[in-house]
Amino acid sequence: MSDSYEDALREHVAGFFRGHAVTAHTWESRQVARLNPAFFVMEMGPGERTSAWTYLTAGAGRGPPDGGRRLEFVLCAPEPSQRHVQLLYMTAHYHLTGEALGVGHMFAIGQPWVPGSSLDCMLVSLPYPFGPALEVFDRGEHHARLLWLMPVTSAERAFARTNGAEALEALFDANGVDYLDPARPSVVGEN
């Protein structure tokens, strides 16, 4: 077993995504480097587990934020892009220095998920596409929970603030939302 948290997490993720190409990425971020100089983002290409490009933080859960839990974050996308790496760096920084995130939290990302998309917020959710085999990282002294970032619209975020994240997720299920589609329509009326 690896000594470092990040290496143990990499083994957990590589085992889950066996057969997928795995690449490590960094983003120039002094803020995240101050929090954890070993932080990086893993990119898994499409394969047997999923046809999506999957991105995952490695190092956000090394130490929990004040009042928070050890979390790592997963983002799925239809195509590869450094934009996804940047968003995960931003999310890790926000989690570790701002509001400690958890299931049901939503936050604005300040611009579209990808150019031309109306999805400009993130919902922190259980990793439904992957289940508990990915969600639960527990290797001896190294442990964290891996949660899914689902891009949503501002109107969906507002709906969830009023009705709860579970009500929004029920609308996603009822509408058969394609979470990989950056052009997907909102499941609630735009404000």
CB 146 within 8 A of CB 72: yes
pLDDT the model gives residue 36: 79
Of 27-31, 78-82, 107-111, where does mean pLDDT reach its minimum? 27-31
Cβ atoms of 117 and 126 within 8 Å: the answer is no
pLDDT tens per residue, range 73-86: 999 999 999 999 99
Long-range contacts, stretch 164-171, CB < 8 angstroms, 24+ apart: 164/104, 165/103, 165/104, 165/106, 165/123, 165/125, 166/104, 168/123, 169/123, 169/125
Q: What is the mean pLDDT of the chain?
A: 92
Which residue do the tokens 């956000």 mark? 60
- Does residue 124 have a pLDDT over 90? yes
Q: Which of 12, 2, 4 is nearest to 136 (CA)?
A: 12
pTM for the model stands at 0.93
When comparing pLDDT for 98 and 90, which is higher?
90
Cβ within 8 Å of residue 52, ≥6 positions away: 46, 76, 77, 78, 129, 180
